[in-house]
Structure 1
């Protein structure tokens, strides 16, 4: 059975998250139903595996999944066929690559990258509605960067971990937290780029929600370090909403999509 890696983009708003659920729409279900039109295995209930199980309302620009098919496909044609059958769901296959059997979208991943988009302005957003978290007042980006520096490296992130997180250990290594400030009409957008081998459940949203409190002046930057060292969920700032969060990329020992032409 040939194995294919899929690079997937989606708008998370209509879905209960990535993972298939019996009574709720999911991105996984949408992709598997499209595969079911093309492959008897998926028509009979075969499953795909993804690099990250994004929550309800979370978007992706670089999710990766793998699928085992019963027939051989040209990767480009498979991507085109999937995009045809995915319509009108807001899900797109950006690239497809045939990969060796030992490739696993989740377990082969070396790191995951997330982007969080936060907009500060008084007027409601229109074009970005459902795609960013909006606050009313400008934030101090330098203070947020100072606070974020305390989270870099290997730490026990219990404070920034959901109470229902199923990870075996709260210890993670945060390799990057970069914050950019970009002008918008009558406002400002702040983009948070986070990179790590893996993340705890709600870790990114907990970190960004905490840093927003720093940027708003409600927290001193050093309070982020105190919250981290408390190893207590109660010490965390508010968890920000999901609709500003994007799974933006996944890295592997060898990029399966290198030099791949995207399907139309």
Structure 2
């Protein structure tokens, strides 16, 4: 028969596993015996105090977890502040397993230790957003860095590009037009790689096309490619890059139309006229 002295002796030895076992196996007996109740409450108070000190001993933390299970199963009754201290201590001790630590920390999100863990978790993992179909569709968002800056930029690298884009949209009004499209997104590398040298292969994965026109009714198949050239393309380095890009498009049986202003006063309307002429030539 268990008595309070057995509990106090185990408590002195910090034999948490045996103590948890006693609470589990003697639920009804403890409820009926005031001395056993007192010994049980004393044990819990000691464990909570150690938890508040954020004890990280693995055996102790494991038994804190067992204590929460006993509480959930109504074998013991923890006060709210005791439950908080225990869950926070487990979260702190499990920080190397961030997902597990988060599951404990989120029970008490206003606790300072919990806040730190939750913040760390959201920086590493996306935050789930509630939605009307959350049982079937998962929606998440990243967490903004408190020291972050607005580093977004326009899709266009120059005003001339935005002018040309508008002209393309007018000519190909039922098509989809995208600027700065990666070559690897519109050309099957494996089909042409054997005809490229190593420099050209490296270039393939670093380069983009200024504009691509896609057929929306044919699985977004690209049908036109345009480059908007400038004086920048007169440098030796850029000429080599242009040559490689031309070769890649030629090998993929695709026309690449290069457009360049000879007069700075060329307008958006003139761009549009040239694009219409190119379209008529190919249809």
Fold in common (TM above 0.5): no
Which of the five TM-score ranges fits, normalised by the shorter chain?
under 0.3
Which has the higher relative contact order, 1 or 2, with Cα contacts under 8 A spaced 6 or more apart? 1
- Structure index of larger Rg: 2
TM-score, normalised with respect to structure 2: 0.19
Q: When you count helix as a share of all residues, which structure comes out higher? A: 2
Q: When you count strand as a share of all residues, which structure comes out higher? A: 1
TM-score, normalised with respect to structure 1: 0.20
